[in-house]
Amino acid sequence: MAKGEVAGERLYPPTTTLSMFMRQTLGADATCQKAVNGWAAQRAADGLRACSVRTGGYCRARQRLPLEMVSALTRHTGRLLSQKAQTRWLWRGRAVTLVDGTGLSTPDTPENQAVCPQPSTQATGVGFPLARLVMLICVATGAALDAAIGPHLGKGSGELGLVRQVLGSLRPGDVMLADALYCNYFLIATLMAAGVDVLFEQNGSRSTDFRRGRSLGTRDHIVRWPKPASWPQWMTDEQYANAPDEIVLRECKVAHQVLVTTLLDPRRVSKDDFSELCAQRWNVELDLRNLKTTTGIDVLRCQTPQMNDKQLRVHLLAYNVIRLLMAQAASNADVDPRNLSFKHTVQLWTQWVACGLSATHDSGRLFVLIAQCQVGHRPGRIEPRMRKRRPKPYPRLKTPRAHSRRQVQRHGHAWATK
């Protein structure tokens, strides 16, 4: 049989390709060469025929992976893990979903620039295309429920525009927890119609007067928000007409923070309950840090937007697998999954797989090892966002790389002559 796509399919079937792709996202060396070398070594250990260690076949196999399949697997694993959360991990027996956005960098290619252009403050050929990511994350387990990615700038590129793409992953009875950016009339109305409750920080553009409305206590009242006279660009005239003329919300002040919620009954949910739930919002910052720093999605490495989107979904799928291991370990050890270390679990799992073991092989010992490393409780911890170690004294690249390369060839390194 001649070499070609058929042979490539045998060497890299979809399940093998996806498994290699996931291991690639969790490894410190996330190159395709490392993934192919690992697969070649595994085949040798299993007594299979030797294969080429060139990366072309694996890269083509990654391109053949259907994006819809990877996205569906990510959503399914996230929803399944969230639904299996133990009652004691929930907030008052209810599933709470965290929402937040962050920025990602992509390689400087014409394809990426066309979809996610670089900031206008940077010269052409100097900066990198920036993408915006909005995530839905389960508070109880940390599972990634869904995500939307788009350009960092431009029409419809804001977090409110992206979050509308993932609202279908929420279920009636869920509670959405987010910052003041999401405290938007039309978003709240949409969520209320879907049976989803919200708890948001009050948007700074809206004033709160506790003398108005029906008082429920000190700095706690129920008010009616009228529909805004104007509507956003994404909304059609028909959508605006179908939106409710007003919505009934509860506003309360907790620890110097004005909160807006659809949970109206103070006998069922008190201000102290809101304070407890708001403290959980910090978890989304930790989860995004785990995704960006530990799994490395802060810099996507593919040459096209389609492959970057696929890489992102594979990252999230691998992230959910780690969260699944943490949830099982927490259940066995009778602790909260949020008390376990994500990075420790990644390190342990990668070593476990490197030794030829699997989650079904002596899983009890694996879960015990995961549960041994718990994160410390450090309330009020503050760290400056500053670097102590100085970078190398090279100047900044302020012209396109090709132009700078030609200049070096002609005149040498200018900084070396100073």
- pLDDT value for 395: 82
- pLDDT value for 33: 95
Q: Which of 285, 317, 340 delimits the end of a domain?
A: 285
Co-location of 229 and 264 in the same domain? yes
Phi, psi of 91 (to 5 degrees): -100, 110
Closest CA to 278 of 170, 180, 378: 180
Residue 291 counted as domain residue? no
Q: Which of 64, 80, 105 delimits the end of a domain?
A: 64
pLDDT tens, 326-338? 999 999 999 999 9
pLDDT tens, 358-406? 777 777 889 999 999 888 776 666 778 788 888 888 888 888 888 888 9
Co-location of 211 and 95 in the same domain? yes
| Three-point CA angle 204, 209, 212, nearest 5° | 140
Q: Can you give the pTM of this predicted structure?
A: 0.89
Q: What contacts 141, CB < 8 A, 6 or more positions away? A: 81, 82, 85, 89, 323, 326, 327, 337
- pLDDT value for 380: 67
Closest CA to 20 of 42, 36, 40: 36
Residue 354 confidence class, pLDDT cut points 50, 70, 90: confident
Co-location of 38 and 182 in the same domain? no
Q: Which of 19, 37, 64 delimits the end of a domain?
A: 64
**Structural domain boundaries enclosing 126:** 67-285
pLDDT tens, 158-170? 899 999 999 999 9
Co-location of 141 and 13 in the same domain? no
Helices (H), 102-172: 110-115, 159-163
Residue 314 confidence class, pLDDT cut points 50, 70, 90: very high
C-alpha torsion 399→405→411→413, nearest 10: 80
Specify which of 183-192, 233-242, 351-360 reaches the highest per-range mean pLDDT.
Answer: 183-192
Co-location of 101 and 170 in the same domain? yes
Residue 134 counted as domain residue? yes
Residue 236 counted as domain residue? yes
Question: What is the enclosing helix (H) or strand (E) of 177?
Answer: strand 175-178
- pLDDT value for 6: 41
Co-location of 113 and 188 in the same domain? yes
Co-location of 36 and 135 in the same domain? no
**Percentage of the chain modeled with pLDDT above 90:** 67
Residue 269 counted as domain residue? yes
Co-location of 104 and 17 in the same domain? no
Average of pLDDT values for 339-355? 91
Co-location of 26 and 171 in the same domain? no
Co-location of 218 and 86 in the same domain? yes
pLDDT tens, 32-60? 999 999 999 988 888 888 889 999 999 99
Co-location of 281 and 189 in the same domain? yes
The count of structural domains within the chain is: 2
Residue 133 counted as domain residue? yes
Residue 325 counted as domain residue? no
The enclosing domain of 215 has a CATH number of 3.90.350
Instruction: Compute the distance between CA of residue 206 and CA of residue 28 in angstroms, rounded to an integer.
Output: 45
- pLDDT value for 416: 55
Residue 8 confidence class, pLDDT cut points 50, 70, 90: very low
Co-location of 234 and 105 in the same domain? yes
